[in-house]
Amino acid sequence: MDIIVVKKSVTAKELRHIVRKLEGRGFKANISKGTERTVIGVIGDTSKITEDESNAFASMPGVEKIHRIIQPFRLASRDFKSQDSVIKIGKQAIGGKKIHIMAGPCAVENLPTLLKIGKEVKKAGATFIRGGAFKPRTSPYTFQGLGEEGLKYLAEVREKTGMPVVTEIMDPRDIDVLLKYTDVIQIGTRNMQNFRLLQEVGQYDIPIVLKRGLSATVKELLMAAEYIMAQGNDKVILCERGIRTFETATRNTLDLNAIPVLKSLSHLPVIVDPSHGAGHWRLVAPMSKAAIAAGADGLIIEVHTNPEEALSDGEQSLKPGKFTTLMKELKAVAKAVGREI
């Protein structure tokens, strides 16, 4: 028994009674109200529930039926929620007809540069400003980010442009400071299976962009999402950003197969990071178009006014002019698949 489907006529009192019974057995209840039905996700080791106990729940007032989910990712699965989830962030909504573009530098370097980039991408049609204040780098000797100062710069750009902020968290101890300045928290590829971090962000009511790990399977990505959702935060946005394969011609192998696969298995929105997926600015445009055609709900694109001088990932960053051209081209692709930018 992983899901309890309740009747359309269920009363608030009956719903509370079901939840209390579950909590009395040591489970958590996650209630999802859709347009067609309301379901209760049972969080915990449901293998402990005997057949008699399952039948008892099925006979409770307000219960229509009980259902077992085969997939180990219960809350993220289509069995739990058949309709696509739409994550609302301020005036924006990711997962609907509109495709959202998150754009900005890999790392926040200074306020003037960030503000200039922010104004340029907003003018071109981007809906979110992205930038790293805490940077996970392979070498301990490279630029590690500005920390809280960088977050303040992002918040100032949000004030000037109206675009919500997307930035990465690396350490659970930084959650409070990030919540002061950001609208969307990104879990980077290296932290996809940092389960302590996933559980921490899952306790807050803030959208999470969860990037696929370097060598993670689709199932492992969905299980990581489940860690967040099991704590009560269902505002998870999955991100395909390329995986490590034997191919060395590109930085990573951007797995566009993952988009329709994830869409078939999960109700969560799926976005794509073509910058990290390809690793070179010349490849960002074609892979962005391919991602939209494959069904992506959004893109994360790195943009810098002077990539040659960028402190992080300049080789994969588009200049504002190239980004503006790409945005015009993406509108045509989106229209062709019944979406809009």
What pLDDT, on a 0 to 100 scale, did the predictor assign at position 332? Answer: 96
- Say yes or no to pLDDT of 314 above 90: no
**What are 130-161's pLDDT values in tens digits?**
999 987 667 776 777 788 999 999 999 999 99
Q: First-to-last CA distance in the chain?
A: 41
What pLDDT, on a 0 to 100 scale, did the predictor assign at position 141? Answer: 65
pLDDT > 70: percent of the chain: 97
Nearest to 211 by CA among 89, 203, 201, 97: 201
Distance CA(311)–CA(222), nearest Å, equals 32
Distance CA(50)–CA(61), nearest Å, equals 20
Tokens 């690793």 sit on residue: 279
CA distances from residue 120 to 80, 200, 304 in whole angstroms, order as listed: 41, 34, 10
- Say yes or no to pLDDT of 185 above 90: yes
- Say yes or no to pLDDT of 1 above 70: no
Q: Where are the beta strands (DSSP E) in the chain?
A: 3-6, 28-33, 38-43, 63-67, 87-89, 92-94, 100-104, 128-130, 165-169, 184-187, 208-211, 236-240, 270-272, 298-302
Residue 261 near residue 308, CB atoms below 8 Å: no
Residue 81 near residue 32, CB atoms below 8 Å: yes
Q: Read off the tokens for 97.
A: 């007809």
What integer is the mean pLDDT of 65-72?
79
pTM score of the predicted model: 0.86
- Say yes or no to pLDDT of 331 above 80: yes
pLDDT averaged over every residue in the chain: 91
**What are 115-133's pLDDT values in tens digits?**
999 999 999 999 999 999 9
The amino acid present at 22, given as its one-letter code, is L
**What are 26-50's pLDDT values in tens digits?**
888 888 877 667 888 888 887 777 7
What integer is the mean pLDDT of 83-108?
95
Domains contained in the chain, CATH given: 3-67 (3.30.70.1140), 87-336 (3.20.20.70)
pLDDT > 90: percent of the chain: 69
What integer is the mean pLDDT of 179-202?
96
- Say yes or no to pLDDT of 308 above 70: yes
CA distances from residue 285 to 12, 131, 270, 301, 327 in whole angstroms, order as listed: 50, 20, 18, 10, 9
What pLDDT, on a 0 to 100 scale, did the predictor assign at position 264? Answer: 96
What pLDDT, on a 0 to 100 scale, did the predictor assign at position 258? Answer: 97
What integer is the mean pLDDT of 1-24?
85
Nearest to 118 by CA among 81, 84, 144, 155: 155
b/e 46-75 (16+ beta carbons within 10 angstroms → b): beebeeeeeeebeeeebbbebeebebebbb
